[in-house]
Amino acid sequence: MSDEAQRCDIWLFRARLFKPRALATAFIESGKMRINRTGRVERLKKPSGLVRPGDRLIYTRDQRLMTIEILALGDRRGPASEAQTLYRLADETED
């Protein structure tokens, strides 16, 4: 696994999963975001929590459970086609 890491709120913003970064920050602070790293699931408590490629983010959005596997870290908030290369929707039946 790579030693590279990025703040979770910045990654969510650059991956275009939240429009303003402030919304990503508020969502994490509300306690609704969990991270699965090496099989251990824990609640993210701060937007400054670090994410790395290979981590999975788990949260509910619009009554739907989302599991996002982080594939890469973003250098910028680029176009949607670029943002979609940063993650993939993970199937809960995997593992």
pLDDT by position in tens, the chain (length 95): 446 999 999 999 999 999 999 999 999 999 999 999 988 999 999 999 999 999 999 999 889 999 999 999 999 999 999 999 999 998 754 54
* Strand duo 64-70 + 34-37: pairing: unpaired
Q: pTM for the full model?
A: 0.88
Quote the pLDDT of residue 1: 42
Q: How far apart are CA 77 and CA 95, in angstroms?
A: 30
The SS3 assignment for 89 reads strand
Quote the pLDDT of residue 58: 96
Q: Alpha helices, DSSP H only, in 31-87?
A: 80-83
Residue with tokens 């086609």: 81
* CATH number for region 6-89: 3.10.290.10
Quote the pLDDT of residue 22: 97
Quote the pLDDT of residue 62: 87
